[in-house]
Structure 1
Amino acid sequence: MAAVAATALALLLSGPATTPAVAAPRPLTVLAGSTPVPLDRLAERAAAAAADGSPTLLKGTHVQSWSLGMSDDRPPITLPEERIVRWTADDGHTELVVATDPRHPGRPVLTDEDGEPRLVDDGDVISRQTFPPSWTDAPPGSRPPHDAGQLRAYLAETEHAESLSTAELLDATAELLDHWTLGAPESAALARVLADAEGLRPVGQVTDRLGRSGQAYVYEAVGLRQMLIMDPATGTVLGLETTFTSDQPEYGVTAGDVMEYSAWMR
C-alpha cells in the first residue's frame, strides 16, 4: 500500500509544468485590511435574518471536503470529495459521494476507496447508496432545536459531554452540518452559541474554496488552528478549516499544512 500511495503522490505532485490536481490546499488567507466582525454582531445579524423563518431546516447535507490521509509509513495525501445526503418522506435516505476538486475541474482526483489510494477522473462516483427507513431521537440524527440554550445542550450531547470546550463545539458543529442543512432559525441559534464560545476570535474577511465571501473566526489549540467561515449577512456557517501550526515529521506534515476542510452548501 505504501508503494501505491507513493506512486499516486508522485503522479499528483509532478508533471510537465502543471498545477497539482489534489496537492494539499494552502490555508485560507484573510483579506488584508478587511474589518473583522465580532461574533456578537454576527449573531445579531443572524437573528434579524431569521425573522421570517426562511429558509427552513432540511434533513441531509451537501458538502465538499478535503482531508489529509496520514500514516507513519507513507507520505500524506489529500483526498477531495463531494457528498450529498438526501432524506425521503419515509425516513429513508440516499448518499452520493463523488470525487471532485473544484480548484482544478476536469483533472484527476485521488481516492482511497477500499483502502487503496488511486487516481480517478474528476466527477467519478465513488459510492451511491440507498438506506432503509430509520429514526433516532439522539443528536445529531434528531432534529436540532432553534433555541440557543437547547442547541448548546444538543451539541454537547453530540460530543457525549456535559459541557463543550471551544474545540469540541467546532467539532460538534461540523457533525451537525454533516447531517442537517440548517434553516435561518437554527443558524441564528448556532451563531449565538458560537458567539458565547471562549477563544474564538474574529480575524477578517476570507474567500472560501467555493468562491464565497465570509467572515473568519479562529481558535488555536496545541498544534492546530481551526478557522470557522460564516456568511457575514446571515450568520450561516459556510466552512471549517483545520491547519497544523507545528511540524509533525512522523506523519510528513509541516506547520501550515491543511489537515481538513469542509465547505457546506444549501
Structure 2
Amino acid sequence: MAHDDELALLRGADPVPGDDIRYRDRPLPTHAERQLNLLLHSAPAARRRPARQVRRLVWGIEMVSLAVAAALALVLAGSSGAPAAAAPHPLTPRAGSTPLSLDRIADRATASAAADGAPRLRQGTHVRTWSLALGSGPGAEAPITLPEERITRWRPDGSHTELVVATDPRRPGRPVIADSDEGPRTVHDGKVLSDRTYPPSRGTAPPRSRPPHTPRALRDYLAELSHPSDPAPLTGTRELLDAVAMFLRHWTPGARENAALARILADADGLRPAGTVTDRLGRTGQAYVHESGGLRRMLILDPAGGAVLGLEDTVTRNDRTYGIKAGDVMSYSAWVR
C-alpha cells in the first residue's frame, strides 16, 4: 500500500483523539522524572535492564508522542503480587463555606509580599504525590495508587540531590504501594526509594533560570517553560495549570512570586471558586476548579498568601478500558512549605 494511503488510514482511525484525557500533555510523574534523569546523567551500563512484559501504563505523561513516552520507560512492568492501594477520594469543599475570588486572593498575596520577613524564592521542592497506575486489556489488574514524598535541593555548584521516600499520610506507618524497576510492590511507610545526587546542570532558560516576580514576566516564563523549543503564549487555563505544576517541580516560590502567580490565575478563564477545603496534609485552603476534556482539576491556594498548596486531577467520565470511573482521583500533588 502506498505511504500516503497508510497515513490516510491512520488519520481516519484517529488513534489519539485530541479530546481524550489519557493522551493530553500532563506533568511527568515523579518516578518518570527520575527515569528521565537517569537516562540523561547515568552511564549506559546503569541504564541497562532485562526485557520484561509491559503490564501497566502510568497516568499523567507529559510528552508529545506515545513513542517517546515508551522510550523513556514510563510504564510499570513485571509481576508484583502487591495488593491494590485504594485511591484517595476527591477533596470536597466544606458545605456552606464562602468562596473567595481569585482577585481577593491576589490582593492578599500582594499585601503579604510587602510585609517584613516575607518568604523568599528557593530553588528546590518538597512535595507529596499520589498517582494512579492503570492496567488495560484482558486480565488487567485494578488501578493502584502510588504514593511518595520527594525532596529536591540544589547546591551552589549547580548540582542537586533528590530524596524519594514511600509515604502515605492517609495511613502513616502502614505499608504502601511503591514504584520500582521490577513493578509496583509493597513497602513500608518511610522506606527510601531513591537517594541520588545529580551533576551540575546550568542553563539560561526555564526552569534553570531564576523566575521573575511580576505577573507579566512570570507568565512569559511559564510560557517558555511550557514551550521550550518554540516559545509561544499559553493558550488557555489547562495549559497554564500544567505550566504551574511544572514550575513547582523546580522552585518553591517566595511571597513575591506567589503574588504574581495569584494575579495570573485571577486573570485566567474558567477557574471557578469552590469554597474552603482541607487538603491532604490537613491545611485549610481555598479551592478553584477547572473542567476540560473529561478532567476536573482542583487548585488549592493558601487564602492568606496565595501559595499553591495542592493540585488534584479527577476524571469526570467512565473508561472501561482502563477500569476508571467518573470521580476517580488520577493524581494529586501537595507542596510542603
TM-score by length of 1: 0.92
Aligned to 2:4: none
Report 1 or 2 for greater relative contact order, CA contacts < 8 Å, sequence distance ≥ 6: 1
Give matches, 1:1-266, under 5 Å.
2=55, 4=79, 7-8=81-82, 11-12=83-84, 22-52=85-115, 54-73=118-137, 74=140, 75-160=142-227, 162-164=232-234, 165-266=236-337
Of all paired residues, the percent bearing the same amino acid is: 62
SS at match of 1:251: coil
Per-residue Cα deviation, 1:124-175 (whole angstroms, up to 9, x for no partner): 1110000122212111222111010001111111111522210110011011
Per the TM alignment, residue 115 of structure 1 is displaced from its structure 2 partner at its CA by 4.5
Q: CA RMSD in A?
A: 1.3
Aligned residue pair count: 254
- Rg larger for: 2
CA distance in 2, matches of 1:252, 1:97: 28
Per the TM alignment, residue 72 of structure 1 is displaced from its structure 2 partner at its CA by 1.4
Unaligned runs of 5+ in 1: 13-21
CA distance in 1, matches of 2:314, 2:101: 22
CA distance in 1, matches of 2:263, 2:305: 12
Runs ≥4 in structure 1, deviation > 6 angstroms?
Answer: none
CA distance in 2, matches of 1:222, 1:92: 38
Is 1:57–1:182's contact at 8 Å kept on the other side of the alignment?
yes
Per-residue Cα deviation, 1:174-211 (whole angstroms, up to 9, x for no partner): 11111001100001000000111000010100000000
CA distance in 1, matches of 2:335, 2:203: 23
Greater fraction strand: 1
